Structure 1
Amino acid sequence: MTKKRIYLSILILGFCILWIYLFFYKNYSNAGIFKNVTERDGYTLNLIKDKEAVEFYIKPEWILINGDSEKKYALELTSNNNTNIMLDNVLNRGDDIYFNFETTYNMNYHKGSFMYNLVINENGSFTSFSSHTDYYFYNNNHEIIDVGHQTGQGPGSSFGFAIDSEDYDLIKDGFYVSYSGFHLYEYYKN
C-alpha cells in the first residue's frame, strides 16, 4: 500500500468517526435531545404547569460575606422532573452577594419531562416572565426573610439573585430559597 492510500484511508476513517460522533451527539446526548425537543424537531412538546416551584438550601460556607470575591461551585442542590439545579457561582460585589444557578437535564430519548424557566413558544422562540416575586427566602426556622429583590435570568435557563449587604445578618447562617419561575413540560418522540 502506498503512503497516499494510507493517508486517504486514515482521512476517510477520521471523517466516519466524526460523522458518527456528531450523529450521536445531535440525537442521543442530553444537549442534543434537549435542543430537538425545544425546537420540536421530531418531538411533541406540551406545557403541563406554570409556576413549578423548587426549594433548596444555601449553606453558610457558600456565602461569601467578607470582601469582594467570587467562588465557582458547580454543586447540585436539588433535582426535580429530570432537571438538576446547580449552584454555579457566588460573587461578593461589595454592596451585595450574587448567587447564580444553572440547570442541567437528564433527557430521555423517547419521552420525559423537564422544567424550564422560559416559555417555549410554538415557533421555537422563548418568552420570559421572570420576576423577583418568583423568589421566596426563608431562614433556618422557615420564617420568611425579606431580601433579594435583585434577580436575573439567562443565558438559557440560568437564574440568580442578589442579597444586599445590609441583609447579610439574615442569611449568614444559611437560608432556604423557593423559586417558582419554572414551567413544567413533557415531551415524547413522534
Structure 2
Amino acid sequence: MVRVKSKILLKRKVFMLRSKRTIIILTILIIIAASFVVYRNCISEEGIFDNVLNGRSYNIYEIQKPISFTAFIEPDWIPENENEVIELNKEIGKAGRVEIILENVMHRGNDIYFSFNAKPFISFHDGEFLYHYEFNEDGAATSYFLADAYNVYDKNSNKIDVGQKGFGPISKFSFGIEIKNYDAIKEGFTLEFNGGILYRYTHKLR
C-alpha cells in the first residue's frame, strides 16, 4: 500500500514538474512573440514608417513642396540592349536628410525607363521622408503630381521629351525616354526634378 502511494506521489510530482516546465516554455514563447510585435511596430524602420503614414503616435510637418534636385545621368548607366536592366542603387541627390537613389535603368524596347527611390531618414523620435501625397486635416491624403516634374537635357543643353511618368508607391518615382531619343541620351544627360513633398515627423511623446 505504501509503495502504491509512493508511486502515485511520484507521478504527481513528475506531472507537476512537466506542467511547470510547459508553463515556463509557453511564457518564454509569449514574451518572445510580444517582443517581436513591439519591435516590428515600434522599433523597426518599417514599423515606425508605417505608424507615421497611418497617423499613429506621430505628428507630420511639411518642410518643402516640391523638392528639387539636379543630377547627371552617366552614359554607363544607360542600357544598350532590349530587356537589359542595369542595377545601380546610386545616390544622385539629397533633400534634407532624405537620399535620392537611382535604383535601376531598364531598356524596355520602346523606351529607356529610370526608376528612383527616396530613402527616408527614420528614427524612433523623428525623421524625414518624401511623399507624393498631401495630408489633409480629415486624415485623408490627396495625390500630388506636377506635370513638369521631370526636365531632361542632353549634353548640349537641348531639352528632351519625357515619355511615361510614374509616382509611388510611397517615395518611389520613375520616368521613361522614348527609344527614338536614345541617341540624344546615350552620352549621358542632365535631369532636373521638381516634385514630391518633403515631410518631417516627430513622436507625440517627445
TM-score by length of 1: 0.84
Q: Verify the 8 A CA contact 1:132 1:149 in the aligned structure 2.
A: no
Check the 8 A contact 2:95/2:198 in 1, yes or no: no
Unmatched segments (≥5 aa) in structure 2: 1-13
Identity %, equivalent residues: 31
In structure 2, the partner of 1:126 is 141
* 2:150 corresponds to which of 135, 158, 180: 135
* Counterpart amino acid of residue 78 in structure 1: G
Q: Distance in 1 between the 2:21 and 2:161 partners?
A: 67
Larger radius of gyration: 2
CA 1:85 to 1:8, structure 2 compared with 1: closer, same or farther past 3 Å?
A: farther
Report how far residue 154 of structure 1 moved: 1.8
Cα pair 2:118 2:129 within 8 Å, conserved = no
Shift of residue 132, structure 1, vs aligned partner: 4.1
Deviation at 1:8, TM superposition (A): 4.7
C-alpha contact 2:118 2:130 (8 A) present in aligned 1: no
Deviates more, 1:116-125 or 1:3-12: 3-12
Equivalent-residue separation in structure 2 for 1:124 and 1:57 (angstroms): 38
TM score, norm. by length of structure 2: 0.78
- Matching residue of 1:89: 104
2:192 to 162, 168, 178: 178
User: Alpha carbons of 1:177 and 1:6: their partners in 2 closer, same or farther (altered >3 Å)?
Assistant: farther
Gaps in structure 1 of 5+ consecutive residues: none
Structure 2 distance, partners of 1:82, 1:30, is 15
Count of aligned positions: 189
The equivalent position to 1:166 in structure 2, one of 173, 176, 180, is 180
Deviation at 1:145, TM superposition (A): 2.3
Superposition deviation, residue 140 in structure 1: 4.3
Name the CA distance, whole Å, in 2 between partners of 1:7 and 1:79: 54
Partner SS state of residue 35, structure 1: helix
Which residue of the partner structure matches residue 67 of structure 1?
82
Maintained 8 Å contact 2:164/2:176: yes
- Counterpart contact for 2:48–2:124, Cα < 8 Å: yes
Higher share in strand: 1
User: As a proportion of its length, which structure holds more helix?
Assistant: 2
Using CA pairs below 8 Å that are at least 6 residues apart, which structure has the higher relative contact order? 1
The match for 1:34 is 49
Question: Which residue of structure 2 aligns with residue 102 of structure 1?
Answer: 117
In the TM superposition, what is the alpha-carbon distance from 1:164 to its structure 2 partner? 0.7
Q: What RMSD over aligned residues (CA atoms) do the two structures have, in Å?
A: 2.4
